[in-house]
Amino acid sequence: MDYLIMVIYAVTVMGVLLGGVTFAILAERKVIGAIQLRPGPNRHGPWGLFQTIADVMKLLMKEDVIPAKADKPIFVLAPVLAFAPAFSVMAVLVYSSSIGGADINIGVIYFLGVSSITMLGVLMGGWSSNNKYALLGSIRGVAQMVSYELPLILSIIGIIILVGSLNITDIVNYQAEMGMWFIVPQFLAFVVYMISSIAELNRSPFDLPEAESELVAGFFTEYSGFRFAFFMLAEYTYAIAIAALATTLFLGGWLGPAFLPGIVWFLLKVCAVMFIWFWLTATLPRARVDQLMNFGWKVLIPLALLNIVVTAVIKVWMG
């Protein structure tokens, strides 16, 4: 591949991603609004389409307040460190049989490894703010993210056992050969993945790190203006990336009836996964910290281990 094409590909993905995040935020507000029987944002543009753009412009014009007691270098670095890994994982995603990023043979490990750096941004942001709410939010967030990263990774191992490869293209091609998406043979893993991904993304009902009724805004309490915007951007970028990984692993990636091109199927499935998250946000109340930790360690991890053992035994049995 030519290097120029690579740069063009990366810039295109970033452009599409920024547009995607803009409309994902609008979609979340619209969906939650519809569920709560109110119109949601509807002032800027037709059907409120430009609401997020207006929000971003406003944040761009806002003063960037850095508290006097904050640890300035770390405070400045944290939003960058939250966003960069969330975007870097997009490099290995494959959107259709012809459109895709880096074809590396450790694709899934790269994705999981790099995405966990995001929590360093959370920790640094909370610690350097020198604010009690921010500190509480960030250590809660990190405890939650490390606890739920284990079931997230363990749930994927069942698929790795079946496919025998960590390459994302191989995983989708295996599903095409099998004639079945992994959501059917690995349904338990899919449930574990979806629940732990919500906790990993700090989304409601597991949004304890930014529980606004007790911690103001959690780890980004002290952030304002565009630095705050980058934390939000990182959060939604990571959400899209995790939804895309769920699509690739469990929902057959770009596979689908031939009347639509592969990439359209891929994007539709990503939207469906994100819609489920929005739906849960509007439906469920926030979990307590002890419920959250108990659920992760005592339910999800044993379930994920059980899934690995059963899958491995069946795989070896069938030869």
Site for another protein in 259-298 (CB under 8 A): 289-290, 293-294, 297-298
Binding mask 212-241 for another protein (x = CB under 8 A): ----x----xx--xxx--x-----------
Give me the helix-helix angle, 3-35 and 225-250, nearest 10°: 100
Burial class (CB in 10 A: 0-12, 13-18, 19+), 107: buried
DSSP conformational letter for 297: I
User: Is the CB of 257 or the CB of 319 nearer to another protein?
Assistant: 319
Q: Does 147 bind another protein (CB under 8 A)?
A: yes
Stretch that binds another protein, among 138-146, 203-211, 256-264, 276-284 (CB under 8 A): 138-146
Give residues 108-127 in contact with another protein (rule: CB under 8 A).
109-110, 127
DSSP, residue by residue, 54-88: HHHHHHHHS-----TTS-HHHHHHHHHHHHHHHHH
Q: Which of 154, 199, 267, 303 binds another protein (CB under 8 A)?
A: 154
Contacting range for another protein; rule: CB under 8 A; set: 6-14, 19-27, 185-193, 255-263: 6-14
- Other CB atoms within a 10 A radius of the CB of residue 288 amount to 10
State the minimum distance, in angstroms, from the CB of residue 239 to another protein.
Answer: 16
Q: How far apart are CA 113 and CA 45, in angstroms?
A: 40
The count of chain residues that interact with another protein, using the rule CB under 8 A, is: 83
Residues numbered 45-104 forming contacts with another protein, rule: CB under 8 A: 60-70, 79-80, 83-88, 90-92, 101-104
By the rule CB under 8 A, 157 interacts with another protein: yes
Closest CA to 165 of 249, 99, 47: 249
Among 10, 27, 32, 49, binds another protein (CB under 8 A): 10
Least distance from C-beta 203 to another protein, angstroms?
A: 20
> Which tokens is 254 given?
């770009």
Kindly report each contact of residues 16-19 with a partner whose C-beta sits within 8 Å and lies 24 or more positions away, as own/partner.
17/87, 17/90, 17/237, 17/240, 18/233
Q: How many CB atoms lie within 10 A of CB 292?
A: 20
